[in-house]
Amino acid sequence: MIAKKKFVGGQKYGGQKYNGGQKYNGGLQQASFEPSDSDRARVVGALRFTTVSALLPEGSAAIDAGRAAVIDLAEVTSSDSAGLALLIEWLSVAKRAGRTLRFENIPTQLQQLARLSEVEELLVPA
Domains, the chain: 2-116 (3.30.750.24)
Q: Which residue from 67, 9, 5 is spatially nearest to 30, judged by alpha carbons?
A: 5
**Lowest-pLDDT choice from 18-32, 37-51, 102-116:** 18-32
Q: What percent of the chain has pLDDT over 90?
A: 72
pLDDT in tens, 27-86: 457 999 999 888 999 999 999 999 999 999 999 999 999 999 999 999 999 999 999 999
- Provide the strand spans (E) within the chain: 2-7, 18-24, 27-35, 40-47, 70-79, 102-104
pLDDT, position 17: 42
pLDDT, position 126: 57
**Lowest-pLDDT choice from 42-51, 79-88, 92-101, 117-126:** 117-126
- Cα–Cα distance measured from residue 39 to residue 45, given in angstroms and rounded to the nearest whole number: 20
- What is the CB-side half-sphere exposure of residue 18 using CA atoms within 13 A? 21
Mean pLDDT of 82-103: 97
- Cα–Cα distance measured from residue 89 to residue 30, given in angstroms and rounded to the nearest whole number: 20
